Amino acid sequence: MSFNEQVFAQAFARAYKAVSSTPNATYGHGPGGTFSPQGLDKYVFNAMILPHLGLQSRLPVRTVNDINPLYGILTGVTAVTGDDPTGECDDPPTAGLAKLCTHSAVFGRYSLQTRVFDIEHAGERTNRGEFLDLQLIGNPLLEAGSGVPTVPGQANADNALRQESAKALFELGASYSRKYAPQLYTGNPSNNTAGNGYMEPYGLETLINTGYRDAITGDACAAADSIVESFGNNNITDADADIVGKIQDIFFRLRHIASRAGLGTVNWVMAMPLGMFYRLSEVWAYYEISRALDGLTFNATFNVDVDGAEVTKRINEYRGNLSTRQGQFLMVDGQRIDVILDDAITETEVTPGQFEADIYIIPLTVMGGTPVTYMEYFNYDRPGGSMELARVMAPGDSYYTTDGGMYIWHKKPPTNLCVQLAVWSRPRTILRTPYIAARITNVLWAPLTVHERSPFTDSSYFVNGGRTDYAGYGPSFYSPTS
């Protein structure tokens, strides 16, 4: 770096917003630290849960730099014009014209920062009664799935109990997961802040919808519309409700569109909350058999028995391994449809003990393997892009990226011994074939007893406890003289 570049970089650092001179972090060790109680056992067992991002962990991810991409859907050919010829030498009718509908996508902009740390306190220990060999049994960040930036020390959760830097990054990762998990479904650019410091991409509530319009002209594109139907706030276990029939009917229409559009083999999945699927698997195992018999006419003396053992066997098969959330599926007209359990889907408690959410039917691939639903992230590592500019204009290693350029990190200019780290990302969800996707709204279910524990702090079913620090509970040291 030349002398002029060094001078410019130093001036830039002074002008850029520096770290606050007032630390607001709680340290892991030292007097009052989170993990400083005297004589604390070596093994710390984790009870914290984070959102399981089932769908996001299944979606392909790529980095791009196009801000306003334009995607095309061939929606049809207009009607033939003109009259049939009267004589042998008369002109025939004229062929119609192909029609194209375009749609686009926008990036979101997410960011989060650590608390302010005074590096002078890193490495403190109250006394020999405080142990630094703690081990965490269970890592909630690994169980959460994708959608969390890779941070140093994340894979080894034990470090969060031992090192101040790892604790800060653990706290940031957990907070990032909770804050942005629902955006895959609920993201809406109408929630952007005035200066676009915070931006949301379109979530699946918007992408799987009706009312599609051409991105250039605004013309209606009905052929691009998804199937969106309400279940009418009916409970899936009610005798008069027919959630099995609803889903089967929707899949019948989706397969018809996909087949006639020449999209080949389509890999669909259904996404829904854990509690809903648990009850739905019971309903499905029984009504898959009984509903098929309801439409048949039997002699009045003819009896049909539904084998309870067979129903139980089907329930267990559908549920797969609920501990790992793998292997869940439902059979729809003889085709296995994988079910993705996702904590990020919005649930509403409409009455005490009764919950409502949407069921999403999502095409992952067409033509036997071409992705049509996937995630894109702005690429901060692109040649001539963000990191190259940072290397020229920012001091030292102020910036770095992780996860192949999906996240950019900034070491804020320190204020004496006070330091802070921040991270940004710009993601968006792409659905190229909304016309073979569906959403069933207002689906009601009731847990057998109590709703399972929630990972979100604003939920009535979220629990934690304990303390963030032990200030005032440590050893008291009095003056050696009165």
Closest by CA position to 168, among listed 179, 180, 160: 160
User: 166 near 326, Cβ under 8 Å?
Assistant: no
Q: Which helix (H) or strand (E) holds 460?
A: none
Q: Is the pLDDT of residue 47 over 90?
A: yes
Non-local (6+) Cβ contacts of 106 within 8 A are 68, 189, 199, 201, 202, 428
List pLDDT tens digits, range 302-345.
555 666 788 889 999 999 999 999 999 999 999 999 999 999 99
Contacts of 412-416 spanning 24+ positions with Cβ under 8 A: 412/16, 412/17, 412/18, 412/19, 412/113, 413/13, 413/14, 413/16, 413/17, 413/18, 413/19, 414/18, 414/19, 415/18, 415/19, 415/20, 415/21, 416/21
Helix axes 274-294, 308-319, angle to 10 degrees: 140
Q: What does the domain layout of the chain look like in residue ranges?
A: 3-64+106-196+376-427
Could you give the dihedral angle defined by the CA atoms of residues 458, 410, 157 and 141, in that order, rounded to the nearest 10 degrees? 40
Residue 397 to residue 417: CA distance in whole angstroms: 17
User: 185 near 344, Cβ under 8 Å?
Assistant: yes
Indicate the pLDDT class of residue 9, thresholds 50, 70 and 90.
very low
Q: Which helix (H) or strand (E) holds 57?
A: none
List pLDDT tens digits, range 254-312.
999 999 999 999 999 999 999 999 999 999 988 776 655 555 555 555 555 666 788 88
Q: Which residue's entry shows tokens 């410091």?
A: 197
List pLDDT tens digits, range 410-459.
999 999 999 999 999 999 999 999 999 999 999 999 998 999 999 999 99
Residue 250 to residue 338: CA distance in whole angstroms: 16
Residue 150 to residue 55: CA distance in whole angstroms: 19
DSSP-assigned states of every residue in 181-208: TTHHHH--GGG--TTSSSB----HHHHS
Closest by CA position to 147, among listed 171, 179, 169, 115: 179
Q: Which residue's entry shows tokens 């102020």?
A: 398
List pLDDT tens digits, range 82-133.
999 999 999 999 999 999 999 999 999 999 999 999 999 999 998 888 899 9
Amino acid identity, position 345 = I
Indicate the pLDDT class of residue 246, thresholds 50, 70 and 90.
very high
